[in-house]
Amino acid sequence: MFILKTFGLYVLTALAEIIGCYLPYLVLKQNKSAYLFIPAILSLMAFVWLLTLHPAAAGRVYAAYGGVYIAVALCWLFLLDRVHLTVWDIIGALIVTLGVAVIMLQPDFSP
């Protein structure tokens, strides 16, 4: 259960970061309303706060989070941007997800 909770927290963290970056992209590249900067700022604030909720050491959290971010970003690409994923996208996501699992599931040898 702990692993699912931690992975879910990583996914929420990734979504907060992606939304916080995607909304300014819409403003700057697609001429959407500048008011989108407000939820973007709130989303990035949530992203930073969510990072503090992870139980592991900060560097380990960032390393594992990076892999989850890649997988979530590819899901975003497929579901929201409607871009079909290539075999290379899927293989890459599987590789980084395996790396996340290695980092997250390592044994605890602390006294």
In the numeric block, which tokens belong to residue 23? 């909304």
Residue 110 lies in a domain: no
Q: How far apart are CA 74 and CA 92, in angstroms?
A: 10
What confidence tens digit (pLDDT) does each residue in 30-51 have?
999 999 999 999 999 999 999 8
What confidence tens digit (pLDDT) does each residue in 60-89 have?
888 888 999 999 999 999 999 999 999 999
Domains held by the chain: number: 1
Q: Is the pLDDT of residue 7 over 90?
A: no
* 83 phi, psi to nearest 5 deg: -100, 125
Q: How far apart are CA 91 and CA 108, in angstroms?
A: 29
* 110 phi, psi to nearest 5 deg: -70, 150
Residue 21 lies in a domain: yes
The model's pTM? 0.84
Residue 109 lies in a domain: no
Residue 24 has a pLDDT of: 97
Q: H helices of the chain, where?
A: 2-30, 37-52, 58-79, 87-104
Q: How far apart are CA 27 and CA 49, in angstroms?
A: 24
Domain around 81: 2-104
Residue 111 lies in a domain: no
Q: How far apart are CA 52 and CA 11, in angstroms?
A: 14
Identity of the residue numbered 16? A
